[in-house]
Structure 1
Amino acid sequence: MNLIDCNSALKTLKSGLPIIFPTDTLPAIGCLPEFSNIIYEFKKRDRDKPLILMGSEYKQLIDYVHESAKEDYENIASKYWPGALTMVIPASEKQATIITSNDLSLGLRIPNSHMAQSLMRKTGPLLTSSANISGFEGSITYESIAIDFPSVEILGPVPWGKSSGKASTIIFWKKSGNWRLIREGEVLVKELH
């Protein structure tokens, strides 16, 4: 098992490789946005399935949000983040190069995990997915993940703190003030229509 600290993680990420780190929900595999293809390769993930951009705080992600959705983004972010909520929102034109969806939208999340937030304060936002091989149930322990991804470095120290083991709630921005539930999780969003 290749355990690393935040400084080593930054070097690995800058080299184009992913790392695995804990979140408040499921462990994540993440990379710098310009290297998104690596996640698809390691996970054997269908390229039609978008990745989620995680950050350390909502202001770190605001430049990725299209102007038309910024007010709603800030409203939801201030109420539910950090936490197990992913917002799918139109992406800013100037950030279009990192989009992994077919509809110019981007999933955004701030995990309620000190370890994950500390990492992303150092690295900047990371494109992420759950740390499992696509089509297989993910593990929540670093030991099991190390078996699935033997060549991917894992953020230490271990053992990690407790996580829910459940995927995040996902909501989709339709238009001003109008959100649709995509996947139910632990977070209940009262602003849904």
Structure 2
Amino acid sequence: MNVIANKLAVEKLNIGLPIIFHTDTLPAIGCLPKFSEIIYKIKQRDVKKPLILMGAESFQLNEFVHKTAFEDYKYMASRYWPGPLTMIIPISEKSKPLFSNKNLTLGLRIPNSIMANYLIKESGPLLTSSANISGLPPSTNAKDISFDLPNVDILGPVPWPKCSGKASTIISWVNNEKWKLIREGEVFIPGIK
């Protein structure tokens, strides 16, 4: 297990390498958006499955949100972030070239994790996924993850604080003030089915 400090993690992210880090739900593997193909390769993940863009503060994610969904996004962000909620929203025109996914939507989240937020404040938003090989159950600690993904650096210090082990709730923006529940997870949002 190769455990590294925040400064070195940011340097590695900037040259296109992914980092594994603690979040409030499940540990994540993340990279800068322009290097997203590395996560698909390492996880053996289907490129049709989108990644989640994590920020440390909602202003870091504002530019990725299409103007039609912006007010609803701001409202949900103010109520549930930081925390275990992922919002799927239409992406802004200027951010489309940053993503290899041909989909016109993007999942956004701000985790309630000091370690994750400190890293993302320094690196900028990161495209993320759970830190496991696709199709295998996710691990919740650095030691187990290092067996599945031995060539990816792990943000220390370890051991990490205990994470919930449960995935984030995912909602998708439909239109003005209307959301659809995609996956039940850690947080319950009244009125969304």
TM over 0.5: yes
The residue number in structure 1 matching 2:34 is 34
Q: What is the CA deviation profile of residues 94-113 of structure 1, one whole-angstrom value per residue up to 9, with x for unaligned ones?
A: 00023354430000000000
1:98 aligns with 2:98: yes
- 1:112-123 equivalence runs, <5 A: 112-123=112-123
**Structure 2 vs 1, CA of residues 191 and 100 (structure 1 numbering), >3 Å: closer, same or farther?**
farther
- Secondary structure at the counterpart of residue 67 of structure 1: coil
Deviation at residue 182 of structure 1 after TM alignment: 0.2
Aligned length: 193
Alpha-carbon distance between aligned partners in 1 of 2:103 and 2:94, rounded to the nearest angstrom: 15
- Secondary structure at the counterpart of residue 106 of structure 2: strand
1:163 aligns with 2:163: yes
Runs of 5+ consecutive residues of structure 1 not aligned to the other structure: none
1:153 aligns with 2:136: no
Q: What is the CA deviation profile of residues 170-189 of structure 1, one whole-angstrom value per residue up to 9, with x for unaligned ones?
A: 00001010000000012111
- Secondary structure at the counterpart of residue 111 of structure 1: coil
The residue number in structure 1 matching 2:180 is 180
AA aligned opposite 1:84 = P
- Secondary structure at the counterpart of residue 68 of structure 1: coil
AA aligned opposite 1:192 = I
The residue number in structure 1 matching 2:2 is 2
The residue number in structure 1 matching 2:18 is 18
- TM-score norm. by structure 2 comes to 0.97
8 A contact 1:170–1:185 mirrored in 2: yes
8 A contact 2:82–2:112 mirrored in 1: yes
Alpha-carbon distance between aligned partners in 2 of 1:41 and 1:19, rounded to the nearest angstrom: 14
Q: State percent identity of aligned pairs.
A: 59
8 A contact 1:49–1:100 mirrored in 2: no
8 A contact 2:48–2:101 mirrored in 1: yes
- Secondary structure at the counterpart of residue 17 of structure 1: coil
Alpha-carbon distance between aligned partners in 2 of 1:6 and 1:166, rounded to the nearest angstrom: 25
Q: What is the CA deviation profile of residues 132-180 of structure 1, one whole-angstrom value per residue up to 9, with x for unaligned ones?
A: 0001001001001011111100000011011100100000001010000
Alpha-carbon distance between aligned partners in 2 of 1:93 and 1:162, rounded to the nearest angstrom: 38
Runs of 5+ consecutive residues of structure 2 not aligned to the other structure: none
Alpha-carbon distance between aligned partners in 1 of 2:149 and 2:12, rounded to the nearest angstrom: 15
Alpha-carbon distance between aligned partners in 1 of 2:190 and 2:101, rounded to the nearest angstrom: 26
**Structure 2 vs 1, CA of residues 191 and 67 (structure 1 numbering), >3 Å: closer, same or farther?**
farther
Extract structure 1 runs of 4+ deviating beyond 4 A: none
8 A contact 1:44–1:133 mirrored in 2: yes
- Secondary structure at the counterpart of residue 87 of structure 1: strand
RMSD of the alignment, in Å? 1.0
Alpha-carbon distance between aligned partners in 2 of 1:13 and 1:100, rounded to the nearest angstrom: 18
- TM-score norm. by structure 1 comes to 0.97
1:74 aligns with 2:74: yes
**Structure 2 vs 1, CA of residues 191 and 78 (structure 1 numbering), >3 Å: closer, same or farther?**
farther
